A and B are shown apart, each in its own frame.
Chain A
Amino acid sequence: MATAAAPADLDTRVHYLNADYGIKSWLLTTDHKRIAILYLVAITFFFLLGGIAAVLIRINLIQPNGALVEPAAYNKLFSMHGIIMIFLFLIPSIPAVLGNFLVPMMIGARDLAFPRLNLLSWYLLMAGGILILYAVIWGGVDTGWTFYTPLSTTYLNTNVMSAALGVFVAGFSSILTGLNFIVTIHKMRAPGMTWFRMPLFLWAIYATSIIQILGTPVLAITLVLVALERLFHVGVFDPAVGGDPILFQHLFWFYSHPAVYIMILPSMGVMSELVTCFARKRIFGYSFVAFSSVAIAVISFLVWGHHMYVSGQSIYASIIFSALSFAVAIPSAIKVFNWTATLYKGSVSYQAPMLYALGFIGLFTMGGLTGLFLATLAVDGHVHDTYFVVGHFHYIMVGGALMGYLGGIHFWWPKITGRLYPDGWARLAAAIIFIGFNLTFFPQYMLGYLGMPRRYAIYPPEFQVLNVMSSAGASVLAVGYLIPLIYLIWSMRYGPVAGPNPWGAKGLEWETASPPITENFEHTPVVTEEAYAYDE
């Protein structure tokens, strides 16, 4: 495996990892690559915490009357799982880790437009994370990640305020990161890097940034209103004092539906990079893939009411939201077809990142198609708020977003660390995750159709077999997630030296050393060709 000379090879030259030493050089860095590493460490920690909650949830559901904890504790577990996984892991995952590392490198820039703002964004996420952890440890929080009123404002005595404040603060991290990316992509592209020569990852990150900037402030306002209502009973949401609880849902989903696309769009961007590289081929239909990202970003703001078909909102509103929700399926379908077509007459190889990519396409397809059930008014009237919904959004957020994140991490790991991980182990992990994922979440579709409500600590015994299957699958999935953690950490010290471009990939980030120098490039690159010119 690793040659004894390997560490020497990397250390003989100065790069961003060894340019400076000491804890201060990391915590006060303004280098986008180092900040990406800070994010990577932080969100891995949050992922493990959210994962522990998931494991406890699945253990509890092995028995109909709860194998582990009382309902009150169970409610805190699923709230913790949701809040941590969404606000502290999935939202920052690809944008803050891979986006931070890659946006400047892919456009041939030295750093992001606002490096210090970038560091501030990380500290805001940390501050939000600490507040949320404080809420979890100190009294817990049992609102669910949705904070529905008047439950959250009037009826719960848990630590709702700290959790809401944590999400509020973490939101600003997201807003500032989006702002940074938009300005960087507009102003700092290298000579010759026109919009239509940009890698599709950047189109996806750009579309995501727009959602982050436009959507997140609405979440912030909503949480402020929740706090005011809790503290002073101002009567915005609580009908007991003249408020409207449905108003909260409109405001919450106005952010939180587009937030789904904050999680999935960047993964779609990663897909376009992986599929082209490992098929050694141009993307099929570049402009269709690019504009479908923008279309998704725009339409995503107009579909929030599909979370509210059974809430008592006007049936005419529901009909319009249903039509718009079907509309958002089209650009997603276009992407899947174009990635598939990219394989046609390619030269396809199957290293670990490509396995994650193919896994993503499969799971995202299944998750997207089951979304059609939920967009359909009459069918949603049966499966709404059941495990069908839980299955659906895990296929999108875990099968989609998380698979994409892992694929991206495996793809750019040699660039980030300068070293290769063992491909065999990585492929094994990808396979275990794909299988474990389906074992965990497919039974949940069936449970939902049978009518099992979500967020139930205790359930009727006839649902037990499917719940045990799901929990068994979750244990496979957990193993699948732990394997990469081990070999990736191992590779940082013992992995073979990767060289600048181990995959033979196109794109500016592969034209500089691995790991890159602090300035990214020795000279500002000049771009003379389109993205994915694998056939030149």
Chain B
Amino acid sequence: MLQGIPFRPEQASTIARGVDHLYYFLTAIDLFFTAVIFLTIFYFALRYRRRSEQDRATRIEGNIPLEIMWTAIPLGLVIIVFLWGTNLFIQNSRPPAAATEIFVVGKQWMWKIQHPEGLMEINELHVPVNRPIKLTMTSEDVIHDFSIPAFRVKKDVVPGMYTTLWFQATQTGKFHLFCDQYCGTNHALMKGYVMVMEPIEYEQWVSGGVRGESMAQAGAKLYDQLACITCHGTGKAPPLLGIYGKRVNLSDGTTVVADDAYLRESIIYPSAKIVAGFPPIMPTYKGQVTEEQLLQLIAYIKSLSREEGKAPK
């Protein structure tokens, strides 16, 4: 029967091994203290059991050195665990600069995934092995959570903001993808698979898939359709060329880095942060663009920075 019980999920990412080592360390601490408490209780229970009604306990009110010892030892151990866990967490929170970006939009009850080349897929995420992948995620409705147990990563997917997750798969195969944050009736059905492929297979899959335009191209089209150029191309509004990742001066004297979250906010709530030197004339595009389209617009603005103004057509 025990053969039917797996004890460890597959270790399929660069993050998994480090998390497991700390998990084993914590398990060892747990077993040690559980054994100490259980054995001590069993020993005392037998050794000091009441043998007759005349039995008297020895008067002991406490022992300060003991109190200090069993405060200090657990304290020392939890400090070690805290430092170890925090250090690992900070490492695991920082995607490498070279990571390929893939975009995830959660909605009740499916995962919509967009590759930068324009490929879209639902409830499946194809990635190449041994390459860092960064997911930029948001939700159309309620809070979801994108979880890949074999990679030991998960992050909530929250409406109204971008969260990010990164991993680097270390073996090819098919791994579970779960929604871990309860999201309504069919929460348990909001799951799928991560398909990790050899880079060559992945290239074939990308080129063989039903592909429309790339995300940046789709964004450029939207940029035209929404007539963004009438202001952003004429000096009435801040030019977008090369803006991505730069620091922007705001009218209230503060500055902000033009990242995904800032660009998203500026499209949906233009009056939230006004760029210094420009009048607050931009209308809101809330309700007019979907989360996917927002990601495409941001991809386009990003491409403007990379290609120094060459419109990607």
Q: Which residues of A contact B (CB under 8 A)?
A: 71-72, 74-75, 142, 144, 146, 148, 150-151, 154-156, 239-240, 242-246, 279-282, 284-288, 310-312, 315, 318-319, 322-323, 326-327, 329-330, 333-334, 336-338, 340-341, 343-350, 358, 361-362, 365-366, 369-370, 372-373, 375-379, 381-382, 384-386, 446, 449-451, 453-460, 462, 465-466, 534-535
Q: Does B93 contact A (CB under 8 A)?
A: yes
Q: In the complex, are the beta carbons of B67 and A285 less than 8 A apart? A: yes
Q: Does B149 contact A (CB under 8 A)?
A: yes
- Pairs A–B under 8 Å by Cβ, sample size 29: A71-B185, A151-B143, A155-B108, A239-B159, A243-B160, A245-B143, A279-B48, A282-B61, A286-B61, A319-B89, A322-B86, A323-B82, A333-B71, A338-B62, A340-B41, A341-B66, A345-B57, A347-B50, A347-B55, A372-B78, A373-B23, A376-B85, A379-B26, A450-B8, A450-B149, A451-B147, A451-B178, A454-B182, A455-B187
Write out the residue numbers on chain A whose beta carbons fall within 8 Å of the beta carbon of B57: 279-281, 345-347, 534-535
Q: In the complex, are the beta carbons of A449 and B152 less than 8 A apart? A: no
Q: Does B188 contact A (CB under 8 A)?
A: yes
The interface bits of chain B over 26-66 (1 if a CB of A lies within 8 angstroms of the residue's CB, else 0) are 10011001100110110011001110000111111111001
Write out the residue numbers on chain B whose beta carbons fall within 8 Å of the beta carbon of A281: 57-58, 60
Write out the residue numbers on chain B whose beta carbons fall within 8 Å of the beta carbon of A460: 176, 191
Q: Does B131 contact A (CB under 8 A)?
A: no
Query: Quick one: which of B233-291 are within 8 Å of A by CB?
Result: 269
Write out the residue numbers on chain A whose beta carbons fall within 8 Å of the beta carbon of B8: 449-450
Q: In the complex, are the beta carbons of A385 and B154 less than 8 A apart? A: yes
Write out the residue numbers on chain B whose beta carbons fall within 8 Å of the beta carbon of A318: 89
Interface range on chain B: under 10, 10 to 19, 20 to 34, or 35 or more? 35 or more
Nearest Cβ distance between residue A266 and chain B, in whole angstroms?
21
Query: Quick one: which of B173-213 are within 8 Å of A by CB?
Result: 176, 178-189, 191
Assuming A239-B160, A535-B58, is B154 touching A381 (CB within 8 A)?
yes
Write out the residue numbers on chain A whose beta carbons fall within 8 Å of the beta carbon of B29: 369, 372
Assuming A142-B185, A310-B154, is B89 touching A240 (CB within 8 A)?
no
Given A151, A284, A382, which contacts B142 in the complex, CB threshold below 8 Å?
A: A151
Given contacts A154-B142, A381-B19, A451-B147, 17 further A-B contacts (CB under 8 A): A71-B187, A75-B187, A146-B182, A279-B57, A310-B145, A329-B74, A330-B74, A337-B66, A338-B62, A349-B50, A375-B85, A376-B85, A379-B19, A379-B85, A385-B180, A449-B9, A459-B188
Nearest Cβ distance between residue A282 and chain B, in whole angstroms?
6
Assuming A358-B41, A361-B37, A446-B5, is B143 touching A148 (CB within 8 A)?
yes
Alpha-carbon distance A415/B63, docked complex (angstroms)? 33
Nearest Cβ distance between residue B287 and chain A, in whole angstroms?
9
Closest to B52 in A: A347
Q: Does B113 contact A (CB under 8 A)?
A: no
Alpha-carbon distance A355/B146, docked complex (angstroms)? 43
Of A280, A285, A287, which is in contact with the most chain B CB atoms at under 10 Å from its CB?
A: A285
Q: Classify the secondary structure of A's interface with B.
A: helix
Assuming A280-B50, A458-B189, is B178 touching A382 (CB within 8 A)?
no
Alpha-carbon distance A386/B217, docked complex (angstroms)? 39
Alpha-carbon distance A454/B189, docked complex (angstroms)? 13
Closest to A365 in B: B37
Alpha-carbon distance A75/B156, docked complex (angstroms)? 20
Write out the residue numbers on chain A whose beta carbons fall within 8 Å of the beta carbon of B141: 150, 154-155
Nearest Cβ distance between residue B191 and chain A, in whole angstroms?
8
Write out the residue numbers on chain B whose beta carbons fall within 8 Å of the beta carbon of A466: 5
Write out the residue numbers on chain A whose beta carbons fall within 8 Å of the beta carbon of B145: 310, 385
Write out the residue numbers on chain A whose beta carbons fall within 8 Å of the beta carbon of B186: 71
Q: Does B311 contact A (CB under 8 A)?
A: no
Assuming A326-B82, A346-B44, A379-B85, is B159 touching A144 (CB within 8 A)?
no
Assuming A285-B67, A288-B62, A350-B49, is B188 touching A71 (CB within 8 A)?
yes
Alpha-carbon distance A385/B187, docked complex (angstroms)? 13
Q: Classify the secondary structure of B's interface with A.
A: mixed
The interface bits of chain B over 105-131 (1 if a CB of A lies within 8 angstroms of the residue's CB, else 0) are 000100000000000000000000000
Q: In the complex, are the beta carbons of B67 and A334 less than 8 A apart? A: yes
Q: In the complex, are the beta carbons of A348 and B188 less than 8 A apart? A: no
Alpha-carbon distance A244/B265, docked complex (angstroms)? 13
Q: Does B95 contact A (CB under 8 A)?
A: no
Write out the residue numbers on chain A whose beta carbons fall within 8 Å of the beta carbon of B154: 310, 381-382, 384-385
Please give me the 7 A-B residue pairs with the lowest Cβ-Cβ distance, nearest first. Answer: A451-B149, A239-B160, A377-B89, A376-B85, A378-B88, A347-B55, A285-B62
The interface bits of chain B over 71-93 (1 if a CB of A lies within 8 angstroms of the residue's CB, else 0) are 10011001101101110111011
Closest to A347 in B: B55
Write out the residue numbers on chain B whose beta carbons fall within 8 Å of the beta carbon of A285: 61-63, 67
Closest to B140 in A: A240
Alpha-carbon distance A75/B108, docked complex (angstroms)? 15
Alpha-carbon distance A288/B71, docked complex (angstroms)? 10
Q: In the complex, are the beta carbons of A450 and B37 less than 8 A apart? A: no
Alpha-carbon distance A279/B58, docked complex (angstroms)? 10
Write out the residue numbers on chain B whose beta carbons fall within 8 Å of the beta carbon of A459: 188
Q: In the complex, are the beta carbons of B41 and A362 less than 8 A apart? A: yes
Q: In the complex, are the beta carbons of B6 and A450 less than 8 A apart? A: yes
Alpha-carbon distance A71/B185, docked complex (angstroms)? 6
Alpha-carbon distance A346/B40, docked complex (angstroms)? 13
Q: In the complex, are the beta carbons of B149 and A372 less than 8 A apart? A: no
Q: In the complex, are the beta carbons of B78 and A384 less than 8 A apart? A: no
Write out the residue numbers on chain B whose beta carbons fall within 8 Å of the beta carbon of A319: 86, 89-90
The interface bits of chain B over 1-15 (1 if a CB of A lies within 8 angstroms of the residue's CB, else 0) are 100111111000000
Assuming A315-B93, A451-B149, A465-B4, is B45 touching A350 (CB within 8 A)?
yes
Write out the residue numbers on chain A whose beta carbons fall within 8 Å of the beta carbon of B82: 322-323, 326, 375-376
Q: Does B161 contact A (CB under 8 A)?
A: yes
Q: In the complex, are the beta carbons of A451 and B9 less than 8 A apart? A: yes
Nearest Cβ distance between residue A361 and chain B, in whole angstroms?
7
Alpha-carbon distance A410/B5, docked complex (angstroms)? 38
Write out the residue numbers on chain A whose beta carbons fall within 8 Å of the beta carbon of B6: 450, 462
Of B4, B23, B55, B160, which is in contact with the most chain A CB atoms at under 10 Å from its CB?
A: B160
Nearest Cβ distance between residue B47 and chain A, in whole angstroms?
9
Q: Does B100 contact A (CB under 8 A)?
A: no
Alpha-carbon distance A453/B30, docked complex (angstroms)? 23
Write out the residue numbers on chain B whose beta carbons fall within 8 Å of the beta carbon of A245: 143, 158-160
Assuming A326-B79, A343-B41, is B189 touching A370 (CB within 8 A)?
no
Q: Does B150 contact A (CB under 8 A)?
A: yes
Alpha-carbon distance A286/B7, docked complex (angstroms)? 42
Assuming A75-B185, A343-B44, is B71 touching A465 (CB within 8 A)?
no
Alpha-carbon distance A239/B261, docked complex (angstroms)? 14
Q: Does B163 contact A (CB under 8 A)?
A: yes
Write out the residue numbers on chain B whose beta carbons fall within 8 Å of the beta carbon of A378: 18-19, 22, 84-86, 88-89, 92
Write out the residue numbers on chain A whose beta carbons fall within 8 Å of the beta carbon of B221: none
Closest to B62 in A: A285
Alpha-carbon distance A535/B187, docked complex (angstroms)? 59
Given A150, A312, A369, which contacts B30 in the complex, CB threshold below 8 Å?
A: A369
Closest to A457 in B: B188
Write out the residue numbers on chain A whose beta carbons fall within 8 Å of the beta carbon of B26: 372-373, 376, 379
